[in-house]
């Protein structure tokens, strides 16, 4: 039975890794919890980011960064077209039978790669240039009517009086 894994934020401000929190986080590319969570929930994350940028195009902009992943991968390149067919994990290839490996390598070049760059989309608040100097006018204080002191009314009969100082 596979245990579910709770991904928690490394900043410890937030308990759970979630798209609204990670999309604006400055540490998104260095966060190990996000990296693991993103592999499982990349569709949910990308849907959230594109929805926000489509709903508020005047406020937010998408920024693409590359998150490096260090593992041993095998890049499978078709010899006829020169296009990358796929990138497989070395552990997957080692788990294959010899017949599957032979079929995989037929008419293809295999390259061992140590890093893979994965594009990560972030949400960033649009920056606007300030064209004119900001001037703050002094506020005019509103004229309050002069307060007149009213004479104090005597307290009702059942109302307790204040304590006397000794």
Residues 45-100 pLDDT 10s: 889 888 988 898 888 888 888 887 778 888 888 888 888 888 888 888 888 898 98
Helix (H, G, I), strand (E, B) or coil at 137: coil
User: Counting beta carbons within 10 angstroms of the beta carbon of residue 46, is it exposed (0 to 12), middle (13 to 18) or buried (19 or more)?
Assistant: middle
Task: Look at the alpha carbons of 91, 97, 101, 103 in this order and tell me if their dihedral is positive or negative.
Answer: negative
pLDDT of residue 3: 59
Q: Tens digit of pLDDT for each residue in 136-149? A: 777 766 665 666 66
- Model confidence pTM above 0.95: no
The pLDDT of residue 113 is 84
Instruction: Return the DSSP state at 68.
Output: E
Average pLDDT of 18-31?
80
What mean pLDDT comes out for the span 31-54?
Answer: 85
93/101 Cα distance (integer angstroms): 7
Query: How much is the pLDDT for 15?
Result: 67
Q: Using one digit for the tens of pLDDT, what is the confidence trace for 99-118?
A: 988 888 888 888 888 877 77
pLDDT at 2 over 70: no
- Residue 33 predicted with pLDDT over 70: yes
- pLDDT the model gives residue 159: 60
Burial class (CB in 10 A: 0-12, 13-18, 19+), 14: middle
pLDDT value of residue 164: 58
Cα dihedral 139→144→146→150 (10° resolution): -130
**Beta carbons of 19 and 45 less than 8 angstroms apart:** yes
Tokens of 140: 């005019």
């Amino acid at each position: 039975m596979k245990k579910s894994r709770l991904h928690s934020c490394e900043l410890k401000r937030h308990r759970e890794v979630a798209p609204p929190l990670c999309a604006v986080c400055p540490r998104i590319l260095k966060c190990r919890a996000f990296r693991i969570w993103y592999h499982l929930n990349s569709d949910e994350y990308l849907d959230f980011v594109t929805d926000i940028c489509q709903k508020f195009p005047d406020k937010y902009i998408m920024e693409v960064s590359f998150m490096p992943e260090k593992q041993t991968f095998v890049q499978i390149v078709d010899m006829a077209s020169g296009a990358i067919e796929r990138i497989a994990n070395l552990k997957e290839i080692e788990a294959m039978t010899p017949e599957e490996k032979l079929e995989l390598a037929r008419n293809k070049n295999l390259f061992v790669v140590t890093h893979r760059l994965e594009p990560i989309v972030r949400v960033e608040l649009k920056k606007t240039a300030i064209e004119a100097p900001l001037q703050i006018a002094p506020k005019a204080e509103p004229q309050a009517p002069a307060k007149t002191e009213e004479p104090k009314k005597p307290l009702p009969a059942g109302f307790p009086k204040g304590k006397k100082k000794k």
